Every structure is written in C-alpha cells, then in structure tokens.
Amino acid sequence: MIEVRFLQYADCEVISAAFNSVGWKKPVSLFEGYFEEMRQGKRLVLIALSGEQIAGYVTTAVYRAEAEDGAAYFVKLRLEDFNEMSLVVPK
C-alpha cells in the first residue's frame, strides 16, 4: 500500500539516502531547501511511502490568490508548474 503525505524535516536525510542508493545524487540540502520553501508557503512537496520506505516525491511551486480585502483564499497549482517528480527504483 502506498501512503502519500507532506514532506517532514525528518524525511530529508532518509529521502536523500534512498536516491543516493540508486545512483541519483540528491543532497540532503536539496530536501532541506524544499522543506523550508514549503514551510514558507512557496512550495508543495508530497512524498510517497511504500510501507516505511520512501518510494518517491513530487514538488511544485505554490501560487496564492488573494481576495480584494487581501485575504488569501486559495492555493493554485497548475500541471505545467510541476518541476520535479522522482521515484526510487531499487537496483
């Protein structure tokens, strides 16, 4: 069963190691940066888990629209804005 959830800071080292184990060099700092941008509301990062193992992730920029009174009322994601989707495929 695949579980999908938001990236948590504790995932940064785990996901980096998972990709490095299959030859994709993705430093911990990449995921720490994604996490910080997500915390600031600038990025959405979802990770997929198969059991307790990282299966992949998807990330996209987030655009907020505001009402006339300045209140944010929705987050807009567009398909063409997805800039990375990666899956771990064990050797």
Q: What is the SS3 string spanning 28-45?
A: HHHHHHHHHHHHCCCEEE
At 91 the pLDDT is 44
At 20 the pLDDT is 92
| pTM of the predicted model as reported, rounded to 2 decimal places | 0.73
Q: Say how far apart CA 86 and CA 56 lie, in whole Å.
A: 5
Give the tokens for residue 60. Answer: 């996209």
In a structure prediction context, what are the per-residue pLDDT tens digits for the chain, which is 91 residues long? 888 999 999 999 999 999 999 898 999 999 999 999 999 988 889 999 988 888 888 888 776 666 676 665 555 555 555 555 555 555 4
The residues with which 57 forms a beta bridge, in sequence order, are 47, 86
